[in-house]
Structure 1
Amino acid sequence: MASYDVIVIGSGPGGYVCAIRCAQLGLKTACVESRDTLGGTCLNVGCIPSKALLHATEMLQETEENFGKMGLKVLRPDVDWKQMLAYKQDTIDQNTKGIEFLFKKNKIDWLKGWGSIPEAGKVKVGDEVHEAKTIVIATGSEASALPGVEVDEKTVVTSTGGLTLPKIPQTMIVIGAGVIGLELGSVYSRLGAKVTVIEYLDAILPGMDAEVQKTFQRTLKKQGLEFVMGAAVQGVEKAKDKATVTYKLRKDDSAHEAEADVVLVATGRRPYTEGLGLEAVGVELTDRGQVRIDDHWRTTAPGIYAIGDAVAGPMLAHKAEDEGMAVAETIAGQAGHVNYGVIPGVVYTHPEVASVGKTEEQLKDEGRAYKAGKFSFMGNARAKANFQGEGFVKILADKETDRILGAHIIGPMAGDLIHEICVAMQFGAAAEDLARTCHAHPTYSEAVREAALACGDGPIHS
């Protein structure tokens, strides 16, 4: 029986970061992972492979739409789907092997197999039981099931199957207009599939800024995606190589159906805690199946912590990473901290969408006086030169103090641009602080400065 200071169950972004930070702080650490590779859903069947396909298809779109405008005369590229999948797999392999290297570098033991907690201070992996002073649950999440829909990962798929389709479908139905559905829907639309998105709510990207939602949906429509909004899916019937989705429109309860080669179920994710034996050791779950924790990520059982998708909060890899570092520091006797008010969210489509902090709708509901500074990328020289003028930057600031409360970007490199605002918010900066900071010209980031100027006397280039 091996003995450790910390055993982390799960090697996703939360788990592996937590394990590495624990080891850096001098704790003897092990990490439990049943996959043949480290990195969890994110590196193996989530964030990383999807971004590889998004990048490849964005290059295809750029070739088709903008090369000719720049005087680059080329024939339309042929898509070698097998090679594209091989490129995606190579990207996965490089990243997962990188985590394995970091484990060896930091002397972290990889306990291969399914983990469970048979009793306090013990983790069972296969037939072996290991002792641990502290246990961290970082088991992540799985795709949510949809009543009346049977997933076979061939014709009816989750994001996992959607990343490994044997051929490019001619038609695809995406159930759910959240981040995963829109990203993968964009991939296959660029590859030539006719993509229809069916969403229960009346707006895409639930919880996002309303103006961003409307602008982004219009943009995706121009790119060829079709939307059926306010529709409740009743079921999916498979027949040979096709599937038929039946749904009802909420506005009039009328029944409809649509057929496609592939149906992607992208209706969210749920915590994965099956088989851990949590109830027996006194770890409580919430009504939503999340592990119940306090403000320091401690569960209801002494010596057991939980982080990431297994607990409440946005299911984002970087949120899990922050919690992983904070828990490691807490276990080591330091003051671990996560600022949940500054957790950015990004949609890696084209254009990208990014947000942090409050939306206008939230501020109105709170009755908080605010001002909004907005700047269109059409006023940004770099964006216009690169055919990236669609979209805008919006900064929300307190009306009295000018402190930045939130920001929302749709446009080029939005996922990178948002971090300047995150840093500003982390240090309690005002919009004027951003406005008075020199930004290199010509860059996309100047649009952020202009939006900050718009919170004051007004932008220069608008």
Structure 2
Amino acid sequence: MSSYDVIVIGSGPGGYVCAIRCAQLGLKTACVEGRETLGGTCLNVGCIPSKALLHATHQLHEAEENFAKMGLKGKTPSVDWEQMQSYKEDTIGQNTKGIEFLFKKNKVDWLKGWGSIPEKGKVKVGDEVHEAKNIVIATGSETASLPGVEIDEKLVVSSTGALSLPKVPKKMIVIGAGVIGLEMGSVYNRLGTEVTVLEYLDGITPTMDGEVSKNFQKLLKKQGMDFVLGAAVQGVETTKTKAKVSYKMKKDDSEHTLDADVVLVSTGRKPFTDGLGATDLGIEITDKGQVKTDAHRKTTIDGIWAIGDAIEGPMLAHKAEDEGMAVAESIAGQAGHVNYGVIPSVIYTHPEVAAVGETEESLKSSGRAYKVGKFAFMGNGRAKANFAADGFVKILADKETDRILGAHIIGPMAGDLIHEICVAMEFGAAAEDLARTCHAHPTYSEAVREAALACGDGPIHS
């Protein structure tokens, strides 16, 4: 029986980061993973492969729409779906092998197999039982479906199946207008698929700032995606080659059906704790299936911790990473900390959408006085030169103190631009601090400065 200071169950972004940080802090560490490769959902069937397809199809869009405008003339590229899939798989391989290298470099043992916790201080992997002073649950999440909708990963697929369809479908129905649905919908829309998004709510991306959400939907519609909002899906019927989705409209209870070659179910995810033995051990699970933890990510059993999608909070890889590092530091006797008020979120469509902190809706709900600084990318020289002038930067600041409370960006490189504001918020910066910081010209980031200026006397280029 081997003995460790820490055993982490799960090698997704939260798990592998936690394991590496534990090892860096001098703790003897092992990580349990049942897949053939490390990296969890994110690296294998989530964040990384989806971004590969988003990148490839965006290049196709540029070739079809903008190359000729720049004097780049020639035959428009054709799509070799098999080669695109190969590129995606190669991207996955490079990343997962990278984690394996980091484990070896930091002397983290990979315990291959599915893990369970038979009793406090012990982890069972296969037929072997290992001792651990601390156990970290980092088991991630799985696709959540709807009643009457059975995912077969052929005609009715989750995001996993959507990444590896045998061919590009002519028609696709996406159930759910959240991040996954819109990203994968964008991929296939660019490839020529007729994409229709069914959403139960009256708007897309419900947690997003309302103004951004409305503009985002308009831009996606302009790109060719159709939306049916207020649609309650009743079920999906399949034949050998087709799927039929039935739904009711909330506003009048009218019944409708839509046919498609593929239906993508993207109605969210749920914590994955099957086979862990958590409830038998006495670890408290919430009504939502999440592992209950305190403010330091400790479970109700001493010496057992939990992070990432398995616990409360947004299901984001980087949130899991932060929690993984914080738990490692707590186990090592340090002050592990996560600032949940400054966790950015990004949608990797084109344009990208990024957000951090408060929305106008949340500020109004709490009664906090605020001001808005906004700047459109239409006034940004770099964006206009690159055919990327759709969207805007929006900064929300306290009306009295000018302290930045949140920011929302829809536009080019939004997922990178948001981090300037994240750093500012970590230091308690005012909008004026950003406005008085020199930004290189010509860059997209100048739009952030202009939005900050708009919180004061006004932007220069608007």
Normalised by the shorter chain, which TM-score bucket?
Answer: over 0.9
- By how many angstroms is 1:145 displaced? 1.8
What does 1:68-107 correspond to in 2, within 5 Å?
68-107=68-107
- For 1:41 and 1:280, the matched residues in 2 are separated by 26
Match of 1:458 in 2: 458
Look up the SS of the partner of 1:342 in the other structure. Answer: coil
- What TM-score results when the alignment is normalised by the length of structure 1? 1.00
- For 1:278 and 1:214, the matched residues in 2 are separated by 42
Match of 1:426 in 2: 426
Tell me if the contact between 1:14 and 1:323 (Cα under 8 Å) persists in the aligned partners. Answer: yes
Equivalences, count: 462
Look up the SS of the partner of 1:341 in the other structure. Answer: coil
- For 2:14 and 2:369, the matched residues in 1 are separated by 36
- For 2:225 and 2:410, the matched residues in 1 are separated by 17
Match of 1:303 in 2: 303
- What TM-score results when the alignment is normalised by the length of structure 2? 1.00
What does 1:165-244 correspond to in 2, within 5 Å?
165-244=165-244
- For 2:185 and 2:280, the matched residues in 1 are separated by 42
- By how many angstroms is 1:206 displaced? 1.1
Match of 1:327 in 2: 327
Aligned residue type for 2:219: T
- For 1:339 and 1:32, the matched residues in 2 are separated by 27
1:389 matched to 2:389:
yes
- By how many angstroms is 1:226 displaced? 0.2
Tell me if the contact between 1:151 and 1:157 (Cα under 8 Å) persists in the aligned partners. Answer: yes
Look up the SS of the partner of 1:55 in the other structure. Answer: helix
- The root-mean-square deviation of aligned C-alpha atoms, in Å, is 0.4
Match of 1:28 in 2: 28
1:407 matched to 2:407:
yes
What does 1:109-120 correspond to in 2, within 5 Å?
109-120=109-120
4+ long deviations beyond 2 Å: none
- By how many angstroms is 1:60 displaced? 0.2
Aligned residue type for 2:36: D
Look up the SS of the partner of 1:356 in the other structure. Answer: strand
Look up the SS of the partner of 1:410 in the other structure. Answer: strand
Deviations 1:240-272 (A, max 9, x none): 110000000000000000000000000000000
- For 2:279 and 2:150, the matched residues in 1 are separated by 29
Deviations 1:322-376 (A, max 9, x none): 0000000000000000000000000000000000000000000000000000000
- By how many angstroms is 1:379 displaced? 0.3
1:355 matched to 2:359:
no
- For 1:88 and 1:302, the matched residues in 2 are separated by 42
Look up the SS of the partner of 2:263 in the other structure. Answer: strand
Aligned residue type for 1:309: D
What does 1:44-59 correspond to in 2, within 5 Å?
44-59=44-59
Tell me if the contact between 1:344 and 1:357 (Cα under 8 Å) persists in the aligned partners. Answer: yes
- By how many angstroms is 1:74 displaced? 1.8
Look up the SS of the partner of 1:335 in the other structure. Answer: coil
- For 2:421 and 2:393, the matched residues in 1 are separated by 11
- By how many angstroms is 1:281 displaced? 1.5
Match of 2:148 in 1: 148
- By how many angstroms is 1:156 displaced? 0.2
Aligned residue type for 1:231: A
1:440 matched to 2:440:
yes
- By how many angstroms is 1:103 displaced? 0.3
- For 2:359 and 2:456, the matched residues in 1 are separated by 19
Look up the SS of the partner of 2:117 in the other structure. Answer: strand
Aligned residue type for 1:27: L
- For 1:428 and 1:52, the matched residues in 2 are separated by 35
- For 1:7 and 1:134, the matched residues in 2 are separated by 6
1:449 matched to 2:438:
no
Match of 1:134 in 2: 134
- For 2:152 and 2:270, the matched residues in 1 are separated by 18
Deviations 1:36-93 (A, max 9, x none): 0000000000000000000000000000000010011021111000000000000000
- For 1:241 and 1:151, the matched residues in 2 are separated by 15
Tell me if the contact between 1:9 and 1:136 (Cα under 8 Å) persists in the aligned partners. Answer: yes
Match of 1:281 in 2: 281
Tell me if the contact between 1:11 and 1:38 (Cα under 8 Å) persists in the aligned partners. Answer: yes
Aligned residue type for 1:156: V
Q: Which residues of structure 2 form unaligned runs of 5+?
A: none
Aligned residue type for 2:399: K
- For 1:106 and 1:382, the matched residues in 2 are separated by 42
Deviations 1:399-456 (A, max 9, x none): 0000000000000000000000000000000000000000000000000000000000
Aligned residue type for 2:277: G
- For 1:135 and 1:282, the matched residues in 2 are separated by 14
- For 1:221 and 1:123, the matched residues in 2 are separated by 50
- For 1:222 and 1:173, the matched residues in 2 are separated by 18
- For 2:144 and 2:206, the matched residues in 1 are separated by 16
Tell me if the contact between 1:119 and 1:280 (Cα under 8 Å) persists in the aligned partners. Answer: no
- For 1:39 and 1:187, the matched residues in 2 are separated by 23
Aligned residue type for 2:96: T
Look up the SS of the partner of 2:17 in the other structure. Answer: helix
Look up the SS of the partner of 1:258 in the other structure. Answer: strand
Q: Which residues of structure 1 form unaligned runs of 5+?
A: none
- For 1:461 and 1:280, the matched residues in 2 are separated by 62
- For 1:74 and 1:385, the matched residues in 2 are separated by 21
- By how many angstroms is 1:97 displaced? 0.1
